[in-house]
Amino acid sequence: MSVYQLDDDLWFPDPHHGEEGGLIAVGGDLSPDRLLLAYSNGFFPWYSFRHESQPSWYCPMDRFVIIPKEIHISHTMRQMMAQNKYSVTFNENFDAVIRGCAEVNGRCHDGGAWLGPDMIEAYTKLHDMGYAVSVEVWESTDATAGSTSESPRGKLVGGLYGVSFNNIFFGESMFSLVPSASKLALIRLAQALDMIGGPLIDCQFETPHLKSMGGRYMSYETYMEIIRSQQQTEHNKE
């Protein structure tokens, strides 16, 4: 098992040679070209500590994913959705979502928090290029009467963001200021992907939250077959 040092050239090593937890390389940068190359091959960056000088790169051999059409919607979530208390949008306020992910529960003050300024800047650039997507959950104006709203829609109470291309979504982070807001964002994302034939949401790592919503493991080989198939499908449309 090896951990490779990346340089200024755009390349990644064979992920089969990485550590058991998926760590395969350190270094390089967070340029759009490197990030897109990374996600196209199953890699993603991580900072164990916000103030580390270089990113670590992971590529687990067992991928935790959600198949959009298999998203599990619990009875509690169905009740929440039926209340129409919350609305969901896409790409309406990427900056607020990524900063919400960084700041919720004091994450931005935690020395081990990984979502620091370099990551925020890098994914904001991807968003400006059309490759990073946010999902926002708003509490209705009526429900937040008397509070300062961030939008005519109401108050931003949760959301998620990630990288998206070829109808595949590579999740990065989510946050909730009210119970289950991030679950609602994920459900609406899965439903939107399913409508356009999107085959996969990459969750990176297993959590109880994601497992309860239908997350399951998939081998790296199967995962890459899906990514390459989607790349070919989108190429044939051009």
Q: What is the pLDDT of residues 57-111, one digit of tens each?
A: 999 999 999 999 999 999 999 999 999 899 999 999 999 999 999 998 555 555 5
Give CA angle at 158 (217, 112), nearest 5°: 65
DSSP state of 16: G
Q: 84: alpha, beta or left, given left = phi > 0 and alpha = psi -120 to 50?
A: left
Q: What is the pLDDT of residues 194-221, one digit of tens each?
A: 999 999 999 999 999 999 999 999 999 9
Say what the pLDDT of residue 146 is. Answer: 47
Say what the pLDDT of residue 17 is. Answer: 95
Domain coordinates in residue numbering, the chain:
64-218
Q: Of 119, 150, 138, 123, nearest to 55 (Cα)?
A: 119
* pLDDT at residue 147 is higher than 60: no
pTM recorded for the entire structure:
0.92
User: Does 64-218 carry CATH code 3.40.630.70?
Assistant: yes
Q: Of 140, 125, 130, 112, nearest to 48 (Cα)?
A: 112
| Contact between residue 223 and residue 42 where contact means Cβ atoms under 8 Å apart | yes
Rounded-to-integer distance, Cα 190 and Cα 23, Å: 28
